[in-house]
Structure 1
Amino acid sequence: MARQSRYRRHLLAPARGLRLWLLAIPTILVASWFITVVSMITGFLGVLLFPSATLLMRRQVDRYRDLINRWTDEHIERPYLPEPPREHGVQGIIKRFVALLTDPATWRDYLWVAADPVVVLFTAALPGLLILYGVWGFLLAAFAGGMIGHYGGSDWYAWVHVDPGYDRDAERLVSTLVIATACVVAGFLAGPRMMAVYGRWGRLVLGPTEKSRLALRVRHLSETRSEAVDASAAELRRIERDLHDGAQARLVAMGMTLGAIEHLLDKDPAKARLLLAQTRESSATALHELRDLVRGIHPPVLADRGVGDAVKALALDHPLNVEVNVEVPGRPEPPVESAAYFAVSEILTNAAKHSGARRVWIDMRHEAGMLRVTVTDDGRGGASLDAGTGLRGIERRIGTFDGVLALNSPVGGPTIVTLELPCALSSPKTSPS
């Protein structure tokens, strides 16, 4: 498989490089429009047009980031500083203009759109151009060289002169074929390397600076803190509602029943015994509800045995056939364990309700400082983060711990949900005696 993947990269890299070269055509137009707007900044028209020109340039550069992320081993994040809140009127226009003008990423984007049409020629597009040049050599040797000579033309293929006697000169034909073959082979061999060079060039220019990385980090922390506060408030409201509507109501009813029993002990002992039996049943129900509530807050098995065994216990109670594989040699921090447990619980609930699956596979392991959980079901697929299935809530919950969620759910299945939470393991896993 690794060899097939390597061959595939060699075959695809030249074509991808040519596609990046063709992308330079609209990029040159975007760069020209942007610098034209910049030249008008001394007037209000330039100030008015600058945001739209900047956003147009960002959309074009985002296409490069997306292609580089997909086609190379580099990963380039969007580096833009947060824009100020939108305000109406001239003051809002000027604030937005200043924010975009002073963002270092704006000028790094312009450096890219101005320089990349040239840089791509000598990096990503070079292998594809070599292959095209080789193909042209084969065409010359086959018939095009004779046609050029027949009509009295004159051309050069590398150092080989193509003139009226070209198609009758065996030495020049062989030289052409050798050069063409060398160009094609060199193009395919150099494709992945030149694409990697292009990816490093993209990361250097299009990646975030330390200032923008810090600003993005602050924004991410602010968002996750706000989401964590909202989630905690919602959880407290849920607990309060469950207590009020469940165990609390039963305890109040039990108190009233005990008062009635107190009055009936002398008058009607038989009815008092009946009420006592009902009260005992109510107390058992209240205890069961309290235990369910405690398990919903933090299951005892999670606290006692860790997230691996807690997920196995969850699988045993699930209506679907769930297989669990755990390779976690220690205990993550309790908040991380709790986040992973409830995320898996929500995913299993979604699978039972929406997927039409019969089997689910859960793989949990710790590697490279990450707790990685993969949940796969054999359902109908078609799941989406925006479909209201709770996956977006899971993403927000694990985002509090810098975790990420990846979803792969083609129509027809299978659905694969992968969670990654950065964490360290505190100690080797032990079983209680």
Structure 2
Amino acid sequence: MAEADTGGSRERGVRRYLRDRVRISVDALEHLVGGLGTAILAFAALLLLSVVALACLVGIGLPVIPSALKAVRSAARRERARLSRWGFRLPEPPPVPAGLRQALRDPWVRRECGFVALHGTVGLALGVFGLSLPLSAVQNLLFPFYFWLLPPEEGGPGLVNWRIDGLPDALVVALIGVGWLAVTVALGPRMARLQALPGRRLLAPPPDVDASLRIAELTATRAAALDAHAVELRRIERSLHDGAQNRLVAVTVLLGAARRALARDPAQAAQVLDRAQDAAELALAELRTVVRGILPPVLDDRGLAGALHGLAAGCGVPCTVEVEVPGRCAASVETTAYFVVAEALTNVARHSGASTAAVTVRREADRLHLSITDDGRGGADERHGSGIGGIRRRVEAHDGRFTLTSPPGGPTTIFVELPCGS
């Protein structure tokens, strides 16, 4: 029995590993394709800069420099938007200075020029090579199904230039496709990270500006935390005032009435006491509800994984939960993660029209990553009062990161990253 359990656990581990590798490879391919698009824009901006620089040597390119710098800024802005969608927060720089001398001295402009030089060459090459790998793998893997349509002397696809005389030779080409597929899985994520490196390094704020931006961000985060705290206090006050307090007042009134009726009509006093007991039980239930809203006891009893499985079981939409968090995080982190998932699943059930939802929680080093995805109609917008703004404020108050992706037609994905210590 123990050997069977070990074998089943090993098989599940292998399936999870393969599933993760496929997901990582697909994400990397998506990154590379998106990076290829911005690399083409960077290459065009680089060509424009080169032409303007050559024109300046003969004295006719100076008036065109502001337009070239605007083209560089446009390419950099597209890369900032792309990287921001994948979780890298890159703030927008100030406008390009109007004066030519001021623009050339601006550290933002100089860093963006360096970015188009690197991303327009190295990033473009990585994007083309990264896209060619899966295409070559597909061509080689499918070659046994169409090789008979080609003349034998033409060879196979890609680097296969020898004569193909039959199915055995075509199967050898297919094995080469398996090799290309393995190379894609192994190198794809590394190439995607390398392609994004110039944008992450050069499009980030200059060192002397980064500190001031961080101070402004922390100031805004502190204000958001205070606002969220005030909203939570008002909610608790309303819950106590409208619920438990009214029940306790009713208990006091009923106990007074029972005391007065005790000497005159003991039977009526017993009925009033029964009503007082019911009111006290309702007040106790109200207080328990308020306490659960402050810190859910299920987190202490069952941990984050058990609490999230409980939320999924009570969701109106079929929901799967995958939690890979070794050990326990800080109570504040687990509470934030719990309320984020609770609010997100409430939105899924009420507004999305989804048929399925999935919650994934993983801990990587000192960061806790949460992903809530549904296959609904999409188009979610935090400005329309769906509770998403409250999720963002709660996450940012914890100095975390919040990303919402919800194109019309779906799917909708909420990605949250919370610091949880080492």
Matched position secondary structure for 1:311? helix
Q: Deviations over 1:38-81 (max 9, x none)?
A: 9xxxxxxxxxxx9xx999975564245446x499x996823748
Matched position secondary structure for 1:306? helix
The one of 297, 311, 314 equivalent to 2:311 is 314
Name 2:185's counterpart in structure 1.
Answer: none
The one of 272, 291, 299 equivalent to 2:288 is 291
Name 1:336's counterpart in structure 2.
Answer: 333
Name 1:393's counterpart in structure 2.
Answer: 390
Matched position secondary structure for 1:329? coil
2:35–2:196 Cα contact (<8 Å) kept: no
CA distance in 1, matches of 2:255, 2:102: 73
Name 1:251's counterpart in structure 2.
Answer: 248
Name 1:152's counterpart in structure 2.
Answer: none
CA distance change for structure 1 residues 201 and 381 in 2, over 3 Å: closer, same or farther? closer
CA distance in 1, matches of 2:37, 2:322: 41
Matched position secondary structure for 2:90? coil
CA distance in 2, matches of 1:4, 1:359: 21
Q: In the alignment, does 2:49 pair up with 1:23?
A: no
Q: Deviations over 1:167-211 (max 9, x none)?
A: xxxxxxxxxxxxxxxxxxxxxxxxx99999886555554332222
The one of 238, 258, 261 equivalent to 2:235 is 238
Using structure 2 for the length normalisation, give the TM-score. 0.63
1:369–1:424 Cα contact (<8 Å) kept: yes
Matched position secondary structure for 1:319? coil
Equivalent residue runs for 1:4-403 within 5 Å: 17-24=39-46, 58=73, 61-63=76-78, 65-66=80-81, 69=83, 77-78=90-91, 80=93, 106-110=106-110, 112-113=112-113, 205-403=202-400
Identity %: 37
CA distance in 1, matches of 2:220, 2:87: 26
CA distance in 2, matches of 1:121, 1:21: 4
Deviation at 1:123, TM superposition (A): 5.2
Deviation at 1:318, TM superposition (A): 3.1
Matched position secondary structure for 1:228? helix
Deviation at 1:237, TM superposition (A): 1.1
CA distance in 2, matches of 1:257, 1:308: 44
Which stretch shows the higher mean deviation, 232-241 or 297-306?
297-306
Q: Which amino acid aligns with 2:42?
A: L
CA distance in 1, matches of 2:356, 2:266: 55
CA distance change for structure 1 residues 296 and 418 in 2, over 3 Å: closer, same or farther? same
CA distance in 2, matches of 1:269, 1:371: 62
1:17–1:195 Cα contact (<8 Å) kept: no
Deviation at 1:319, TM superposition (A): 3.3
Alignment RMSD (CA, Å): 4.8
Deviation at 1:308, TM superposition (A): 1.8
Which stretch shows the higher mean deviation, 310-319 or 293-302?
310-319
Q: Which amino acid aligns with 1:421?
A: L
1:76–1:206 Cα contact (<8 Å) kept: no
1:17–1:125 Cα contact (<8 Å) kept: yes
Which stretch shows the higher mean deviation, 245-254 or 269-278?
269-278
Name 1:418's counterpart in structure 2.
Answer: 415
CA distance in 2, matches of 1:312, 1:218: 38
Name 1:407's counterpart in structure 2.
Answer: 404
Q: Which amino acid aligns with 1:210?
A: P
CA distance in 1, matches of 2:400, 2:373: 19
Q: Which amino acid aligns with 1:267?
A: R
Q: Which amino acid aligns with 2:237?
A: E
2:88–2:200 Cα contact (<8 Å) kept: yes
1:377–1:415 Cα contact (<8 Å) kept: yes
Using structure 1 for the length normalisation, give the TM-score. 0.62
Name 1:166's counterpart in structure 2.
Answer: none
Deviation at 1:276, TM superposition (A): 1.2
1:28–1:117 Cα contact (<8 Å) kept: no
Q: Which amino acid aligns with 1:22?
A: A
Q: Which amino acid aligns with 2:377?
A: R
1:74–1:200 Cα contact (<8 Å) kept: no
Deviation at 1:247, TM superposition (A): 0.6
Structure 2 unaligned blocks of 5 or more:
1-21, 128-187
Matched position secondary structure for 2:383? coil
Q: Which amino acid aligns with 1:109?
A: V
CA distance change for structure 1 residues 229 and 8 in 2, over 3 Å: closer, same or farther? closer
Deviation at 1:352, TM superposition (A): 1.4
Q: Which amino acid aligns with 1:21?
A: F
CA distance change for structure 1 residues 30 and 302 in 2, over 3 Å: closer, same or farther? farther
Matched position secondary structure for 1:386? helix
CA distance change for structure 1 residues 233 and 380 in 2, over 3 Å: closer, same or farther? same
Deviation at 1:330, TM superposition (A): 0.9
CA distance in 2, matches of 1:70, 1:16: 13
CA distance in 1, matches of 2:371, 2:246: 40
Q: Which amino acid aligns with 1:400?
A: A
CA distance in 1, matches of 2:191, 2:339: 45
CA distance change for structure 1 residues 317 and 28 in 2, over 3 Å: closer, same or farther? same
Q: Which amino acid aligns with 1:107?
A: P
